Amino acid sequence: MTDLPGHLANPDDPSFSYQEFSLLHENCSEYGLPAPSDVVVERRSVEVDEGRVVSGLVWGEGPPEVVLVHGGAQNAHTWDTVVMAMRPVPMVAVDMPGHGHSGWRDDGRYDPRSSAADVARFVEEHAPSASVLVGMSLGGLMVTALAASRPGLFERLVVVDVTPGVNRDKASDVHAFIEGPQSFPTFGEIFARTLEFNPTRTPESLRRGILHNAHRLSDGSWEWRYDRRRFDVTEYDYSVAHVDLWDDVSATELPYLLLRGGTSPVVDDDDVAELLRRRPDAVVEVVEGAGHSIQGDKPLELAVRLQAELDAC
């Protein structure tokens, strides 16, 4: 079993208590950012169906200017370092339905268009004047659907390392990870599996990510927060769920920026060609040294690019 970072408290210790916003000093320390003593953040939610909510983090003071949407099997905290690097820009980071603190759907409809309708409700309530819409992976497909269906809601669109051309082969490592076990006897074991699939990330950052994305049960075991019930029935097939989203790309009217991870196989040259055929004005940039999760691998570089998008509004 892989050892946890020795200088950090062991989450398997019965006395350990997870505090949602207590880890921000680690994000800042790892990337040389100012201490987070002045950070303003709170969790808010909006009811989208009877008894089901969409939750998110509202950062900073004043009307949010940027909306951030994570990828599949992630949660709003995947953006923490990016937000810390861009502060004091007010932003929101949304937990997609079935992820983080957002409610699970009994019908299992986590396709981009269904999720877009739910996220739009959160945006209308908590970030109605936001200018820049950002989505990564599954969240990138979701924001594409949102931008197509609600053309007047934002001013610019940023999609992180995904197109509707994604399939199981291109995203094989992602699928192998998220279709693994739902629960683990100890934090050490969930940590070891996460490290195996994310060898370029620091142990400290992976520990933070797990604490935000899993929770300890009464018997001491650990369980992922995201809804994995669909994996018990059939493998999740991107090619079926997202085959028609190229039409949404065509329908988007916002300035479109695609950011590719330099070492990621999820977006290939054929995908870029199809994007430019449908949106000849789209801008495509490669973030060197980043894999699929650019916000985790190169958060400061991503923050610079998002600030440039915001400045262009």
Annotated active-site positions, please? 137, 161, 292
- CA 292, chain centre distance (Å): 11
CA distance 143 to 149: 10
Q: Which helix (H) or strand (E) holds 150?
A: none
What's the angle, vertex CA 71, arms to CA 148 and CA 291, rounded to 5? 115
First to last CA, the chain: 49
CA distance 133 to 153: 9
Which pair of tokens denotes residue 297? Answer: 């691998």
The answer to whether residues 126 and 224 touch, using CB atoms and an 8 Å cutoff, is: no
Neighbours of 17 (CB within 10 A): 10
| Residue partners of 94: CB distance under 8 A and separation at least 6 | 54, 55, 56, 67, 68, 69, 70, 76, 102, 119, 122, 123
- As to burial, measured by CB atoms within 10 angstroms (0-12 exposed, 13-18 middle, 19+ buried), residue 241 is middle
